[in-house]
Amino acid sequence: MLTLTRILGSAVDPDIGDQLHHLEHEGRVESLWLAPEDTQRHRLRLLSDKGTDCAIALDRRLNLFNGAVLLIEAQRAIVVRTQDQQWLRIAPLDAEAALELGYFAGNMHWTVRFEGGHLLIAQSGSRADYLARLEPILADGRARILEP
């Protein structure tokens, strides 16, 4: 198992990017794919896309991000890659429904953002699970799901 304890920089940093470019041509860049919510974790274990068993153990002051370079050597590099965050967009019928929806999302501890009068919920599980939880407010028309 390879233990990674530092973030060396970003894949878009000019110096690191040049090194990665050369290693990529030789097929020596490994990716650690994370779900968006896992970027907040400081301790995790996973396999790279090339099968390297990796343990990440970061200081609490550090946060993972898409393109974080955790290892760069002459023979290989390991880079964090994140999957795209999926958002569920909900349009409340009126201000009362918006308050109820916001209250409900808060009680569920869902990550949300607001955009153009809509509530966007970051999906960290199946869409069906979110829709099942929201069913009462959706069924009576107080809110509706907007497709992306």
- Please say whether the beta carbons of 118 and 108 come within 8 A: no
| Cα 92 to Cα 118: distance, rounded to the nearest angstrom | 7
Segment 26-41 shows an average pLDDT of 91
Cα Dmax for the chain: 61
The pLDDT score that the predictor gives to residue 126 is: 84
pLDDT digits (tens, 9 = 90+) for 53-109: 999 999 999 999 999 999 999 999 999 999 888 899 999 999 999 999 999 999 999
- Whole-prediction pTM: 0.66
Segment 116-123 shows an average pLDDT of 92
CATH of the domain at 97: 3.30.70
The pLDDT score that the predictor gives to residue 134 is: 96
CATH of the domain at 78: 2.60.260.20
- Look at the chain and report how many structural domains it folds into: 2
Residue 113: count of CB within 10 angstroms of its CB = 10
Percent of the chain at pLDDT > 70 equals: 99
Last-in-domain residue among 67, 82, 97? 82
- Amino acid present at 4: L
The pLDDT score that the predictor gives to residue 147 is: 83
In whole angstroms, how far apart are CA 134 and each of 7, 127, 129? 39, 11, 9
Domain that holds residue 129: 86-146
65 and 6 part of one domain: yes
Residue with more model confidence, 125 or 97: 97
The pLDDT score that the predictor gives to residue 69 is: 97
103 and 48 part of one domain: no
| Cα 141 to Cα 148: distance, rounded to the nearest angstrom | 19
The pLDDT score that the predictor gives to residue 114 is: 93
61 and 91 part of one domain: no
- Please say whether the beta carbons of 42 and 57 come within 8 A: yes
pLDDT digits (tens, 9 = 90+) for 12-32: 998 898 999 999 999 999 999
